[in-house]
A and B are shown apart, each in its own frame.
Chain A
Amino acid sequence: MESPDDARIEADGSTLVDVHWWVGGAIGLAAVSLVVTAHMVSVARDALTWVSLGTLIAVALESILIRLERLLRYRWAAVLALSGLALIFGTVLLTVVFPVATREAGKFDTDVPRLVERLDDLPVIGGRLVDADVPARLERWVQGLPANLGVDDAPLQGLFRSVLDGVTALLATVLVSIAVMLDGNRLRRGVLRIISVRRRDDVVRAFDILYRTVGRYFAGSILVALSAGVAILIVGLLAGVPLAPVAAVWVTMTNLIPQIGGFLGGSLFIVLGATQGPTTLLICLGWFLAYQQFENNVLQPMIVGDAVDLSPPTTMIAALVGASAFGVPGALIAVPLLGAGKAILIELGLVSVGASSDGAAAKSGPLRRAWGRKPNRARR
């Protein structure tokens, strides 16, 4: 076999390749750029999180936006209408939830000691909690809370700063969402401008897969999580479960974690219910198990369906890695990105796979899928 001009075979049989010094320079430059980029990403982590979350929300709302755009003719009118609807929904939610939340927060200092008193009566784990000094620690923390807030201003300043940070993050995320919704088509055209004509259709297909997978998974997961939170809040308030809003928020947050989210969220709700006696415990347990069945077999397949075609361990590892890197937004984005990556590789023929066992189900309607097949994200 003939060797290329810049390679020669030595006497001992080994091949010596002559690499131009520019190659080394380019690799060095790439390494330095990588370090600088990593530094910039670590410094601008908050901003990048807001940008990612805002972009995700915009992608998730794209299908509604396209329909509104057809109705109202102009994209800006569709964005304005959608933003107005979101504002009205947010205001109504705040008006309904905020009084309940402040009332529950007012009961916080009476609810927690009552809860602490009942912790040692809990079946199975009560004794262990007492051994670990959990009730006494909780009581000390609650007793110290009013004094800390009243005399020492530091916790209050921290709270004020947290609220301010939260408002900034919310405003930035909403702004990015609106900006991406307004700019979506132009950004898409802009990216296509720098792609060669030969590759353009592949990129368009990849875009479509990405936006379908991410949008559907993200919007669906948020809807399912909110639904779980509302279900827990209603039953918690009706059954007199202490700190029901806290449990509802916890269930909503953990619902976004695949496979173990349901167990994580439900365990707090059930433990809180157990402090009110065996009847409340049974109500909480029964409701939670029934709701999980409904969510896993009806709601989840109907709303999220097979947006991502990944195995349970893959979704779980992806979500955990995403959460540890970027918190809740990371957990949300990791799974659909991985799913979209897989779908793009398959679509472009870069990897080959066998016939999907879910192929027939995927072609059927959502209700038939809901009853006719095991959910893809069998999570809980």
Chain B
Amino acid sequence: MTALAELKNLTKCFGSRKALNDVTLQIEEGEILGLLGPNGSGKTTLLKVLAFLERVDAGEVKFQGETVTERNSERMRLQSTMVFQKTLFLGTTVFNNVAYGLKMRKMPRSVIEEEVGNALKLVRLESFKKRSARKLSGGEQQRVALARALVLKTRLLLLDEPTTNLDPKNTSIIEEIITKVNRELKTTIVMATHNMFQAKALPKRVALINDGKITEVGLSSDVFTKLSRNLAAFAAVENTFNGFSRITDAGTSIVDVGGGVQIEATFQKQGEISIFISPQDIILSEKQLKSSARNMLKGRIAEITDLDSLVRLKIDVGKPFTVQITKCSFNEMGLNLNSEVFLTFKASSVHTI
């Protein structure tokens, strides 16, 4: 595969802090590359360098074989576009926002009308043209921001945490669009995320980044199979724990993750281990449940985050667990900060990293 973009020994500093430290990375043409790392690891800075929005302090950036300099960066920017984590809109309609890049490229009005229509259809917001972009819901805004980027049909598309804080419906739509655009338009995509499931599912290759350094790069299947402790070290990855596993007489494993928390899993492993449990696999209840699930932990609600139709909760059981429930359930159960709750999940929901 040919390299669309190359980063060689890149360093980028903000004051005394090295946001990127001697980074070398190749982006292959037509791939989806996942950039996985915790908050503050340098993902956004790396994306901005690839979007030619940030100058580097050392190293080289090449795009389509040409070195990127201050002189040609404005021209290069026409070949790549970035969707920021925080959706930003011009104070105008959805149509004008999506059309902005095409207007900068001096496209004729008829072409703009057609392309904007197609882009909004792709993100399933065809009827939203005249609406004020700033008054949309979070999920709709993210889709409009994606349409605004896709309409430009650039060689390289950079996505900074495209589904953070979105409900499953919008997340699913966006993930579908990303896959479709890559498959049908052969758009090269670099996607920053701290969602391990997304990093495993969408990209073919994954680069792990921490403290401004790329710690691993490879096929996502290899990186995730390799029992990488780098993954567990990422503070922002939910429900990931390091611990010590011992095999039980029943043929399962009990993993001591500290904080008085012991988790039963169906695998058989002895020794130091990293595990994760998907928030979607955890049942939250006010009372103890009598069920076949092997894991039941008692704790208190430490944090509540509103995600439109869903609510994300951080539960302190001795270790922090993240759980997602519908807003309906949250209201019906009358939950609040410090409410006592029980977490229940099956031993088969515990995965090794």
Q: Do A and B come from one complex?
A: no
Interface residues of A, Cβ cutoff 8 Å to B = none
Chain B residues with CB under 8 Å of chain A are none
